[in-house]
Amino acid sequence: MSDNRKRILKHLGFSFLRIDVEVHYRIYRCPTCGRIHRNGIPFKAKGHNMTWLFQKDIMDALDRDCSTISNIANMKGTNKNIVRMLDRERLEAL
C-alpha cells in the first residue's frame, strides 16, 4: 500500500516575503513489519509546517528586533501564536 500526500509549508520567498509551498510526499506500509512510513521532507522545520529557512528568519528577527511578537508576526505574514512558540523554543535553547 502506498499513497501520495501533500503538505503546505510556509517558506521565505523573494524580498523576504512569506510564500506557501506545496510539497508532495509518499507514505507506504512496510511489507515486513506492517508499519506506515513516510518519505521525509528535508527542508521542513521539525515540528512545524514551515521550512527551516522561514523558521530561521523568524528566530533571527526575534534575536535582533526589539519588536513585539505581534509586530514580527505581521511583518512575516504569519500567526502570532507561531512566533510565540518559536520564541519559547529559542529562549529554552539559551
What's the CA gap between 42 and 78, in Å, rounded?
22
Q: What is the pLDDT of residues 69-94, one digit of tens each?
A: 999 999 888 999 999 999 999 999 88
In this structure, the number of other CB atoms found within 10 A of the CB of residue 54 comes to 27
Are the C-beta atoms of residues 10 and 54 closer than 8 Å to each other?
A: yes
The full set of domain ranges for the chain reads 2-93
Q: What percent of the chain has a predicted confidence (pLDDT) above 90?
A: 54
Cell of 90: 529559542
Lowest mean pLDDT among 13-17, 31-35, 67-71: 13-17
What's the CA gap between 65 and 86, in Å, rounded?
14
Q: Is the pLDDT of residue 2 over 80?
A: no
**Residues whose CB falls within 8 Å of the CB of residue 69, separated by 6 or more in sequence, listed in order:** 80, 83, 84, 87
pTM over the 0.95 mark: no
What's the CA gap between 83 and 48, in Å, rounded?
11
In this structure, the number of other CB atoms found within 10 A of the CB of residue 56 comes to 14
